[in-house]
Amino acid sequence: MANIVLGVTGGIASYKAIDLTSKLIQSGHEVRVVLTDNTLEFVTPLAFQAISRNHVYTNTFLEEDPSNIAHINIGEWADIIAVVPVTANTIGKFANGIYDNMLLNVLAANTKPVLMAPAMNVHMLHQPSVQENIDKLRGQGVEFIDSETGFLACGYNAKGRLASVPDIMEKINDMLNENKELSGKRVLVTAGPTRERLDPIRYLSNFSSGKMGYSIADSFKRRGAEVILVSGPTNLPVPAGVTRIDVESTAEMFEAVKEHMAADIGIFTAAVSDFTVKEQSGQKIKKQEGNVPSIELVETQDILKYAGHNNEDMYVVGFAAETENVEAYALGKLESKKADAIIMNDVSDTSIGMNSDDNEVTIIFKDGSKVPLPKMAKTLLAEKIADTLTERVIR
């Protein structure tokens, strides 16, 4: 996890920096925010303070701690400074050595990597002086993430919109991990529920949200791995840089897994259906008084078992989400599936069960060793899981 200084300049896109702060905190980073005077016309320091749980800096001459000089101290504290959004005004001042606010003083005294994310009207963005200033800063080592094309506050549908928060997150993480330890490795992740159709409008499924699997996919991607995410139906956005393959049924997930088993690590978090209907009705099953239809079920393909028994070099990691005798069932699954590790969790606890934001797990390895991970947000837990598996498999 990293120390990130987030500079926010005054534009209509300033509000998106609040979301970025939240996402960075959820990912386990420490964030300190610096606002320019013009930013205060759009957002308040309190919003950033509440999310970052740190003092928000707005005034070069307001020294909260007399033992240090704030604009120097926070730059030394930072691993990276991201200015999101950055206006033409701030780009021009920084490029030409004008340091007349707290953020510009932080940048002037900084020796750490700097990322800037421009957001402005398309004509402003394409002004020759603005482009010259951007080129000048690039020549000095400042990184830029390009603006997007889309609807702008001025009414144009053109380039100039702030890059998306996931893309900015990916860029920040790329800069933090220039020597990515999993570069050249491939990771296969399954996530979410599966659906087994009874008729054209009904299906069997479960309460899995996919949050754990998506967070794990994101964690491995940010370590430089090529990540294939085979996902059942969810409402989650695709992590930046991850290749998602959408499936519905267990049979479809099985076929996708078979096709992508040439991976270094396979992490099977999906809550797949154990059963499917023997014969799916082509028409809606009608309610008939006094006649309750019976539905014959058959077992689905055991995806984890197939991966454990049929892989060549893939390190196979399964999940054991249980409601009773959790460790006994997890150990049984570890052996019967021929997995290299099982991540067990007690989903009878609704605070860490399916569709919750938190989880608590223990990783059990086939050599008998265990790594308990206490209750935390699934995004943070995914980082711990990725760290543990990387240590075991790659290093």
Q: What is the pLDDT of residues 201-233, one digit of tens each?
A: 999 999 899 999 998 998 898 788 999 999 999
Residue 79 resides in a domain: yes
**pLDDT tier at 140, thresholds 50, 70, 90:** confident
113 with 7, same domain: the answer is yes
CB 274 within 8 A of CB 298: no
Strand pairing class (275-277; 297-299): antiparallel
The C-alpha atoms of residue 100 and residue 384 are separated, in whole angstroms, by 42
Residue 149 sits in a domain whose CATH number is 3.40.50.1950
277 with 340, same domain: the answer is yes
Strand pairing class (370-377; 358-365): antiparallel
Residue 279 sits in a domain whose CATH number is 3.40.50.10300
CB 222 within 8 A of CB 261: no
**pLDDT tier at 395, thresholds 50, 70, 90:** low
For the stretch 121-130, contacts whose Cβ atoms lie closer than 8 Å and that sit 24 or more positions apart, written own/partner, are 121/152, 121/154, 121/156, 121/160, 122/152, 122/156, 122/158, 122/159, 122/160, 124/88, 124/160, 125/88, 125/159, 125/160, 127/88, 129/92, 130/88, 130/91, 130/92
Sequence-distant (≥ 6) Cβ neighbours of residue 221 within 8 angstroms: 170, 227, 239, 240, 241, 242
218 with 305, same domain: the answer is yes
With a cut of 80, say whether residue 357 has pLDDT above it: no
Calculated CA dihedral for residues 350, 387, 222, 171, nearest 10 degrees:
100
Which residue bears the tokens 């479809």?
A: 252
In the prediction, which pLDDT does 178 show? 59
Residue 145 resides in a domain: yes
User: Which residue range forms the structural domain that includes residue 323?
Assistant: 186-393
Which residue bears the tokens 């054991």?
A: 320
pTM confidence score: 0.63
In the prediction, which pLDDT does 106 show? 93
- Which is more confidently placed, 373 or 140? 373
- Which is more confidently placed, 280 or 157? 280
Please report, rounded to a whole number, the percentage of residues in the chain having pLDDT higher than 70.
97
**pLDDT tier at 154, thresholds 50, 70, 90:** low
Please report, rounded to a whole number, the percentage of residues in the chain having pLDDT higher than 90.
58
> Which of 116, 151, 176 marks a domain boundary?
176
67 with 42, same domain: the answer is yes
In the prediction, which pLDDT does 151 show? 73
Burial class (CB in 10 A: 0-12, 13-18, 19+), 327: middle
Strand pairing class (297-299; 358-365): unpaired
With a cut of 60, say whether residue 179 has pLDDT above it: no
With a cut of 90, say whether residue 24 has pLDDT above it: yes
71 with 133, same domain: the answer is yes
Instruction: For residues 125-145, give the mean pLDDT.
Output: 89
In the prediction, which pLDDT does 316 show? 96
Which residue bears the tokens 């120097």?
A: 72
Burial class (CB in 10 A: 0-12, 13-18, 19+), 222: buried
In the prediction, which pLDDT does 315 show? 95
155 with 255, same domain: the answer is no
In the prediction, which pLDDT does 96 show? 95
- Which is more confidently placed, 153 or 346? 346
In the prediction, which pLDDT does 119 show? 92
The C-alpha atoms of residue 171 and residue 144 are separated, in whole angstroms, by 9
Residue 268 resides in a domain: yes
149 with 295, same domain: the answer is no
Sequence-distant (≥ 6) Cβ neighbours of residue 138 within 8 angstroms: 144
With a cut of 80, say whether residue 277 has pLDDT above it: yes
Instruction: For residues 238-256, give the mean pLDDT.
Output: 92
Residue 181 resides in a domain: no
87 with 216, same domain: the answer is no
143 with 213, same domain: the answer is no
Residues that are catalytic? 154
> Which of 152, 176, 200 marks a domain boundary?
176
> Which of 176, 210, 233 marks a domain boundary?
176
In the prediction, which pLDDT does 82 show? 96
- Which is more confidently placed, 74 or 46? 46
| Helices and strands (DSSP H and E) totals, the chain | 13, 19
Sequence-distant (≥ 6) Cβ neighbours of residue 372 within 8 angstroms: 361, 362, 363
Q: Residue 263, Cα to own-chain centre: how many angstroms?
A: 21
Instruction: For residues 168-183, give the mean pLDDT.
Output: 81
In the prediction, which pLDDT does 298 show? 94
What average pLDDT is seen over the chain? Answer: 89
- Which is more confidently placed, 133 or 359? 133
* Inter-axis angle of helices 128-139 and 88-95, nearest 10: 50
120 with 28, same domain: the answer is yes
Residue 388 one-letter amino acid? T
Q: How many CA atoms lie within 13 A of 43 on its CB side?
A: 27
Helix (H) or strand (E) holding 21: helix 16-26
User: Is omega for the bond preceding 45 within 30 degrees of 0, making it cis?
Assistant: no
Split into its structural domains, the chain has a count of 2
Task: Specify the range with the lowest mean pLDDT, choosing from 4-8, 91-95, 154-158, 222-226.
Answer: 154-158
Which residue bears the tokens 């020549």?
A: 139
The C-alpha atoms of residue 149 and residue 152 are separated, in whole angstroms, by 9
59 with 155, same domain: the answer is yes
Task: Indicate the SS3 state at residue 347.
Answer: coil
With a cut of 60, say whether residue 41 has pLDDT above it: yes
Instruction: For residues 267-290, give the mean pLDDT.
Output: 89
In the prediction, which pLDDT does 124 show? 87
172 with 190, same domain: the answer is no
Alpha carbon of 113 to those of 76, 110, 140, 295: distances in Å?
Answer: 11, 8, 11, 61
Sequence-distant (≥ 6) Cβ neighbours of residue 293 within 8 angstroms: 285
**pLDDT tier at 67, thresholds 50, 70, 90:** low
Task: Indicate the SS3 state at residue 7.
Answer: strand
| Nearest alpha carbon to residue 115 among 92, 140, 82 | 82
Q: Residue 389 is encoded by which pair of tokens?
A: 């598996």
